Amino acid sequence: MKEKLCKKILGFLLASLLLLTVSPPAFADMGPKPSVTLRLYIYNDQNYAVTLLGNTESTGPWSAPSAYGDWMGSREVWEAFQAYDAPEGYYFLGYFEEYFGDTEQTFTWGYYPPQKFYVLLYNMDTGVFSISKEPVQRYAFDSEWQVLFDPEDGWMHVYTNRTDSDQISLFTSRLLITLILELALGALVFGLREKAQQNLIGGVNLATQLALNLVLHYGLFYLGPWAGFALYAGMEVLVFAVEASAYCRWLPWPEGKTPCPVLYALTANLLSFGVGWLLNEHLTNAQIRWLSLAALFLWYTVPKLAGKTCLFKQNAQENDKRL
């Protein structure tokens, strides 16, 4: 009976997931678009214009050769970029921004930026161009670089802030918090305290959370927020279905208690989802890392302290009886 119920629930969830994946897409040109952001560090009292030389002759509304529009900015600057002898296979697409004074600036191409490009600076005071040594390529839906420029010798260095170690440590912290939350819920609410029970819960969670976070990372990082959230919603349903099915089949339930593996899987996933949302809204990545360490410390120390307290009370009661 229990296995039939689990199969029906699993079938319903998989059907819901299928509906999510085959829903017709919306083709209206709305919602998030890829972007390229440059953090510019140019320290002198001269004025610059910045553009990207793309590796295609058109991208979205931008194209080469471009037609000048008053909304673009200075016509003189546009003509200078238009006349620049770009590297073979790269083109000025019409989009540029102007910067004045000795300050750190941000250049953002937020509507159909080129996939691969050179960074090109134009000194509006001297008429001198400076170009990055090599082309760079968008690495994510929202890609960001820092541009260091030395005006004296024309040296330019373009590099990204993305570090794999930061992503791995943050992923590990989130995974650790999720595991401890679901294990604690099982132990405190459902009585799942035995080693075999916690090993199964931990193993199943480890597998499903790895898959969920990899898909979420891929979706948000490469496809953008809307596509990423759609994948995330489908994966959450699939994770619940897999965990509920695994618990129905293999999780040994405490003696004397009515088995409710589906309820546990649902409650655990809702709890981890809610806590994860709160962490994203109210804590920085550094605070999340510290919280995971605190949770790990409490997970190992609290049961030991509780065990010692119970043992102390038991010994005290025995001594009182002897007296």
Residues 269-310 have pLDDT tens digits of 889 888 887 887 677 667 888 888 888 888 888 776 555 554
Predicted confidence (pLDDT) per residue in 12-34, tens digit: 444 444 444 343 333 334 445 67
Identify the pLDDT of residue 220: 55
Distance in angstroms (rounded) separating the CA atoms of residues 271 and 122:
54
Identify the pLDDT of residue 152: 72
CB atoms within 10 A of CB 300: 9
| DSSP-assigned letter for residue 66 | P
Q: Residue 272: which of 201, 223, 193 has the closest Cα?
A: 201
Predicted confidence (pLDDT) per residue in 35-61, tens digit: 788 888 877 778 899 999 999 888 878
Q: How confident is the model at residue 219 (pLDDT cuts 50, 70, 90)?
A: low
User: Is the predicted pLDDT of residue 192 greater than 60, yes or no?
Assistant: yes
Predicted confidence (pLDDT) per residue in 162-179, tens digit: 655 666 777 788 888 888
Q: Burial code of 165-181, b = ≥16 C-beta within 10 A, e = fewer?
A: eeeebbbebbbbbbbbb
Predicted confidence (pLDDT) per residue in 96-140, tens digit: 999 875 667 888 888 788 989 999 999 998 999 999 988 988 877
CB atoms within 10 A of CB 70: 6
- Identify which has the larger pLDDT, 185 or 319: 185
User: Is the predicted pLDDT of residue 313 greater than 50, yes or no?
Assistant: no
Report the share of the chain in percent with pLDDT over 70: 73
User: What is the CB-side half-sphere exposure of residue 316 using CA atoms within 13 A?
Assistant: 6
Identify the pLDDT of residue 27: 36
> How far is CA 318 from its chain centroid?
56
User: Is the predicted pLDDT of residue 256 greater than 90, yes or no?
Assistant: no
Per the document, the length of the chain is 323
Distance in angstroms (rounded) separating the CA atoms of residues 273 and 316:
43
User: Is the predicted pLDDT of residue 245 greater than 50, yes or no?
Assistant: yes
Identify the pLDDT of residue 46: 83
- Identify which has the larger pLDDT, 253 or 304: 253
Q: How confident is the model at residue 76 (pLDDT cuts 50, 70, 90)?
A: very high
